[in-house]
Amino acid sequence: MKAHEMRDLSLTELEARLKDEQNALVDFRFNKAIAGQIENPARIKNTRREVARLKTIINEKLSAE
């Protein structure tokens, strides 16, 4: 999801999405630690960026209030 699409979401939707992405990141890291390899290692990087993007937009919305 692009940043401009995320800005259209409400704060509660953004926080729910952030929680989902953080859980996915934990799962990716766990699978990498257990199996040693994962199917698509770029997904970890993309998920980290998505988490950062969500945190940034949440902070923008909170500071605008």
Given this model, what pLDDT does residue 3 score? 84
Chain segment 8-59, per-residue pLDDT in tens: 888 999 999 999 999 999 999 999 899 888 888 899 999 999 999 999 999 9
Given this model, what pLDDT does residue 25 score? 94
Which residue in this structure is represented by tokens 């919305």? 61
Instruction: Specify the long-range contacts of residues 19-26, CB closer than 8 Å, at least 24 apart.
Output: 21/47, 21/50, 21/51, 21/54, 22/51, 25/51
- The CATH number of the domain where 11 resides is what? 1.10.287.310
Print the domain residue range for 29. 3-64
Overall domain count for the chain: 1
